[in-house]
Structure 1
Amino acid sequence: MMVETEQDAGELSPLDREAHAWVRRLTSGEATATDATALRQWCGRSAAHAAAFSAASQFWQALGPVGESLAADERAALARPRFARPGIMGRRAFISGALAASAAGVLIARPPLGLWPSYSELQADFRTGAGERRQISVTDGLSIDMNARTSISIAADAIELIAGEASFAMPDDSSKRFSVVAGTGRTSAVNAHFDVRHTGAMIRVTCLANEVQVEHPDRTVMLGPRQQVNYRPDAIEDVVTIDPAVASAWQRGLMIFNMTPLAEVIDELNRYRSGRIVLMNASLAQSPVNGQFKIDRPDDALAQIELGFGVRRRTLPGGLILLS
């Protein structure tokens, strides 16, 4: 596979320009499993190819506190236990093991700053890119509405939400229980309507109709309509009551923020645009944000953040925006 390279890249060598072109392709929001396979083959041509891609990727890890945050996230991801999921993990575990054999493979498997989908996401049965939504129907009448940047794999005994957010709905007359695995938890129901969001190490389950059960190594909880629970690898939080119109706003093409911490707002904006926005000023992370924005216009919200908090924007290659 040939990748278009930049014509004006300063003093970069032709090999380095190709490596940076790969990074741009991966951050475009349109990368596929075929691209990931082609990249692995490109990196395998020689040690120089692998080193060039590593250098292009690790540029993002040289961004001070951002790099430290990434390192902490990766350590947590490697350390966390996984929920048993027969029939789902085998293929990706094998792929991840093969990729880990080289430094370039590690960067493909665990991208710096989440700038592009991980290899496991690219290998999902169904996947959406930046700003893309998709509806799919599974057996027994199960309907799945996938939000942007979402990856799902389907096995006989469960659906795995690898990353992203999705809404699951069964017919009211359904009598078959189905399960959704995300991180260290399993959510199961018979005829419920519920959302599951998997962002980093945090998973959020929201019940919109009927009843769902959330199993976690810490404990098991039951959710009724208008109830929500968050869990991490090591703990599950208390159940809270929510406004379903806000929780499911993305299904109507909206982002609604009601005293939402700025860090969470930026995470949401990153779902709907290519590249990545990074908040460099940690003191603003918990600052509350109120507002309603259209999903297909995420930069409108970004402009309001710049004005409202007086932050300065710095745009870097690959769609990376630093707010300080």
Structure 2
Amino acid sequence: MSGNDAFTRAALRAEATQWFNLERSGDMTVDDELRFLDWLDQSDAHRDAYRLVERAWLIAGTIPQEPEMLSPADLDGERESRRPGWRRHLALAASLLLVFTLGWSVYFNAFPGFGSTQTQQFRTGVGQTTTVTLPEGSVVTLDAETEMRLRETPRERRVDLIAGRAFFRVAHDPSRPFTVNAGGKSVRAIGTAFEVSFEHGNMVVTLAEGKVRVEETGSGSGSGTDMAPGGQLVIGADHNWTLSRVDVAKETSWTEGRLIFMRDPLSEAVAEMNRYSPRKLVFKDGEIPERQVVGVFQAGDVDGFVKAMELNGIARRISATDDQILLSGGE
């Protein structure tokens, strides 16, 4: 690789890092978003640089943030004017290249089989959701507290959902079926959109579009359950399989940062709210009233949730700290 090529790639990564940080900050305006989309559309190199930043963040859990890095509003002007500060930006680009090179070196060492077989691992923490585009074009949205492993070969695309919940929008490729494995069960798809969760030994599959087949992993018996859009399959730790119809928009609302409850038990609503906040809702003596919750809440907004519970006489706040809000049953 020539020096010019290295500079160009490092500069693109610097730009991609700026866009990534702006997008995650929540401060992106409509104009910023239009300019960001225009930047992505300029070339495959721009899109590849952004995906590299996205994956590096998932692996390392952070993106280098340099106080001297150009703001998105300055990016176009910098390319045209080449102001006298170019040496500073060259040094910055070189440092970013070093960071990414080291990061990917660690990554490849962790997965020595990388080559014809590609392996990637993803993990999110409390309150952290993220969307990634896989190398073959499928898009995965990981919910908070989720861990999964992706393995790609020329013949298959396989995801092991170790824990948590994820929504998959699968790129159509009949020659390489897309399989999600969890708890000894597998969900097989070609090109479709579905959600899989695996928690406390229970697996739940919700189908939004297309078709999937769920079966015991490696059974080879040909038996299983074929699902249609709007269906939800619950496989309990007791191995019971229950297929029903659900409101897919409600079930997958977390992908848009919202939680919709429609007569859900208070205990389940509290567990969902706690998933997205480091500040936990805790009931005195562990006794959660047998009440139902109806409403739409922003994921992580535990204060808004508590206010709604108090207004409806479902629960009341006893005390609050940085770590938790202690509640008791309402009147």
TM range (shorter): 0.5 to 0.7
* Match status 1:298 vs 2:298: no
Q: How many residues align?
A: 205
Find the partner of 1:259 among 260, 263, 268: 263
> What amino acid sits opposite 2:130 in the alignment?
R
Give 1:173 shift.
5.7
In 1, are the aligned partners of 2:179 and 2:189 still within 8 Å (CA)?
yes
TM-score between both structures, scaled by the size of structure 1: 0.55
In 2, are the aligned partners of 1:227 and 1:240 still within 8 Å (CA)?
yes
Q: Distance in 1 between matches of 2:176 and 2:129?
A: 27
Corresponding residue for residue 182 of structure 1? 182
Partner SS for 1:293: strand
Corresponding residue for residue 273 of structure 1? 277
In 1, are the aligned partners of 2:179 and 2:188 still within 8 Å (CA)?
yes
Could you list the runs of 5+ residues in structure 1 that have no partner in the other structure? 1-31, 36-90, 92-123
Q: How does 1:187-198 map to 2 (within 5 A)?
A: 187-198=187-198
For residues 223-260 of structure 1, what are the alpha-carbon distances to aligned partners after superposition, in whole Å with 9 as ceiling and x for unaligned?
Answer: 11010011123313321111121112112221110011
Partner SS for 1:214: strand
Kindly tell me: are residues 242 and 261 of structure 1, through their superposed partners in 2, closer, same or farther at Cα, counting changes over 3 Å? same
Larger radius of gyration: 2
In 2, are the aligned partners of 1:213 and 1:223 still within 8 Å (CA)?
yes
Q: Distance in 1 between matches of 2:172 and 2:273?
A: 34
> What amino acid sits opposite 1:243 in the alignment?
D
Partner SS for 2:145: coil
For residues 93-119 of structure 1, what are the alpha-carbon distances to aligned partners after superposition, in whole Å with 9 as ceiling and x for unaligned?
Answer: xxxxxxxxxxxxxxxxxxxxxxxxxxx
Give 1:275 shift.
4.6
Corresponding residue for residue 128 of structure 2? 132
For residues 48-105 of structure 1, what are the alpha-carbon distances to aligned partners after superposition, in whole Å with 9 as ceiling and x for unaligned?
Answer: xxxxxxxxxxxxxxxxxxxxxxxxxxxxxxxxxxxxxxxxxxx9xxxxxxxxxxxxxx
Give 1:316 shift.
6.2
In 1, are the aligned partners of 2:207 and 2:229 still within 8 Å (CA)?
yes
Give 1:211 shift.
0.8
Kindly tell me: are residues 209 and 323 of structure 1, through their superposed partners in 2, closer, same or farther at Cα, counting changes over 3 Å? same
Q: Distance in 1 between matches of 2:176 and 2:289?
A: 42
Q: Which has the higher contact order (CA 8 A, sep 6+)?
A: 1
Find the partner of 1:310 among 306, 315, 321: 315
Could you list the runs of 5+ residues in structure 2 that have no partner in the other structure? 1-57, 62-109, 111-119
Corresponding residue for residue 205 of structure 2? 205
Corresponding residue for residue 227 of structure 1? 231
Kindly tell me: are residues 210 and 126 of structure 1, through their superposed partners in 2, closer, same or farther at Cα, counting changes over 3 Å? same
In 2, are the aligned partners of 1:306 and 1:313 still within 8 Å (CA)?
no
TM-score between both structures, scaled by the size of structure 2: 0.54
Give 1:152 shift.
1.5
In 1, are the aligned partners of 2:132 and 2:140 still within 8 Å (CA)?
yes
Kindly tell me: are residues 320 and 163 of structure 1, through their superposed partners in 2, closer, same or farther at Cα, counting changes over 3 Å? farther
Q: Distance in 2 between matches of 1:298 and 1:130?
A: 13
- Percent identity of equivalent pairs: 28
In 1, are the aligned partners of 2:281 and 2:302 still within 8 Å (CA)?
no
Q: Distance in 1 between matches of 2:253 and 2:191?
A: 22
CA-atom RMSD, angstroms? 3.0
In 1, are the aligned partners of 2:165 and 2:197 still within 8 Å (CA)?
yes
Kindly tell me: are residues 134 and 292 of structure 1, through their superposed partners in 2, closer, same or farther at Cα, counting changes over 3 Å? same
In 2, are the aligned partners of 1:281 and 1:323 still within 8 Å (CA)?
no
Corresponding residue for residue 214 of structure 2? 214
Partner SS for 2:241: coil
Q: Distance in 1 between matches of 2:160 and 2:289?
A: 30
Corresponding residue for residue 62 of structure 1? none
